[in-house]
Amino acid sequence: MTAYGYVRTIFDQVAAARRPATVSITPSTRHVGVTRRDTFRPGFADAVRAANGEGYPVLVRSSGGGATAADTGTFGFSIIRPAREEIGRGIPERYDEAAALVLGAFSRLGVAAEVGEVRDEFCPGDHSVRVGGWENGMKLCGIAQRVTRRATSVGGIVLVEGEEDLARVLERVYGALELPFRPGSVGSARRAGCDAPVEAFLEAFAAEAEARYGATRVPLDEGTTAVARESGTAHLV
């Protein structure tokens, strides 16, 4: 849950002008992430029980979209900016930027993907990153946004491996919520033919951020880690 709270903590620091615009790249811990809208659906309590029964804690995230699942075979990324730097930019531009970052990082490892929705996918959206077409393709990354008066964030979860377990828990969660879901839509870089480990993808995303933004790698300080740990627990259902 510390990894989940980390993104919220960085967002708050950027919003408060205590940290500059940041590209966050974070290894995942096991969880199902739901939206606030999901918590009001009639089957939400059943969905939580289903996820917990598979060993996945449920966390409520601030961005939009739909339910997602993560584990050690996945990682998250976010592009976080203070609102003053976002004047003249809107939702489409941020989606395009995040998708371009994903595709650029993927290309470094030989993963050929494209932007587009996949039929009955988790967290559906037309800026998903997929392999294959709409009908029978698989999703390798979902992208969502969070926008406040002080900061914006766009990012998502990248699936490197372990898609079978994620598909199983998501099938139970979406079933409880009575939402369409196709298990085969849950993809991974491994399923797409790339054997590179999660660490290689983390490095590819960091290198892509350096190339695109002139970003500098900054180690996570202990104070931020402590706040992130507390923040992650606060979002637990």
AA identity, residue 179: L
CA 157/CA 38 separation, integer angstroms: 18
Per-residue pLDDT of the chain (237 residues; tens, 9 = 90+): 566 678 889 999 999 999 999 999 999 989 999 999 999 999 999 999 999 999 999 999 877 789 999 999 999 999 999 999 999 999 999 999 999 999 999 999 999 999 999 999 999 988 999 999 999 999 999 999 999 999 999 999 999 999 999 999 999 999 999 999 999 999 999 999 999 999 999 999 999 999 999 999 988 777 777 776 766 565 566
CA 155/CA 99 separation, integer angstroms: 9
- The pLDDT of residue 204 is 98
Tokens of 203: 């490095």
- The pLDDT of residue 236 is 65
Of 225, 226, 206, the closest CA to residue 216 belongs to 206
| Cβ contact 85:72 at 8 Å | no
Q: Which residue has the tokens 């402590």?
A: 226
Domains of the chain: 2-216 (3.30.930.10)
Structure-derived torsion over alpha carbons of residues 14, 32, 105, 108, reported in degrees to the nearest 10 = 150
